[in-house]
Amino acid sequence: MIKPLGDRVVIEPIAKEETTASGIVLPDTAKEKPQEGKVVAVGSGTLKDGERIALEVKEGDRVIFSKYAGTEVKYEGKELLIMRESDILAVLA
């Protein structure tokens, strides 16, 4: 199991072909290209005044994030991204 620290999130990016399925089409000429993915693990949250503030996203959420956000890791054969929750723009529900 991979457990991100603090306000970090592990995301499995969704390939561009799948992207249309959820209704999101990423413009080619976007100033800052976002990307879609699925949250596979979330950190325990940011520490504020001695308490952990839970993250807004949860495991299984489909999210849009800034394309150049995060660090790539390969884990159990999957290419994953570890990024801060603040790099996630929106949840698709």
Counting contacts by CB under 8 A, is residue 10 touching a copy of itself?
yes
Q: 79 phi and psi, to 5 degrees?
A: -90, 115
Of the candidate residues 17, 21, 23, 60, the single one contacting a copy of itself (CB under 8 A): 23
Among 15, 17, 21, 51, binds a copy of itself (CB under 8 A): 51
Angle 24-28-30 (CA atoms, 0-180°, nearest 5)?
Answer: 85
Angle, CA of 33, 4 and 21, to the nearest 5°: 40
Q: Does 48 bind a copy of itself (CB under 8 A)?
A: yes
Q: How far is the CB of 92 from a copy of itself (least distance, A)?
A: 6
